[in-house]
């Protein structure tokens, strides 16, 4: 994309494709011990005792990848090491 071209996004909602991506991400091989050398799991307690899980690691500016339902933080575990 060059600066003179407008940015366009096409959203295609295909439940079967989304669930296949989710399944593929959940079953992808990864080394949890190597991941744990760089990242750590934390819990933040907010109002009314609600707990929010987050994973932190690396240095520098924060990058906050957000997932949608029904995914969880694990959807990002394969790309997170590339950003630290």
Domain residue spans in the chain? Answer: 15-83
What pLDDT, on the 0 to 100 scale, is given for residue 38?
A: 92
| Euclidean distance between the first and the last CA atom of the chain, given in angstroms as a whole number | 26
Give the pLDDT score at 74.
83
pTM: 0.61
Residue range 34-79, pLDDT digits in tens: 889 999 999 999 999 999 999 999 888 888 888 887 778 888 888 8
Which residues are within 8 A (CB) of 55 and not within 5 positions of it... i.e. 6 or more apart?
Answer: 39, 40, 41, 42, 73, 76, 80
């Amino acid at each position: 994309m060059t600066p003179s071209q407008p940015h366009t996004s096409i959203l295609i909602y295909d439940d079967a494709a989304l669930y296949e991506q989710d399944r593929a991400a959940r079953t992808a091989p990864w080394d949890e011990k190597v991941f744990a050398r760089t990242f750590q799991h934390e819990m933040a307690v907010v109002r009314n005792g609600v707990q929010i899980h987050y994973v932190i690691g690396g240095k520098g500016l924060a990058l906050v990848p957000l997932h949608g339902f029904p995914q969880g933080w694990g959807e990002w575990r394969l790309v997170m090491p590339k950003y630290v």
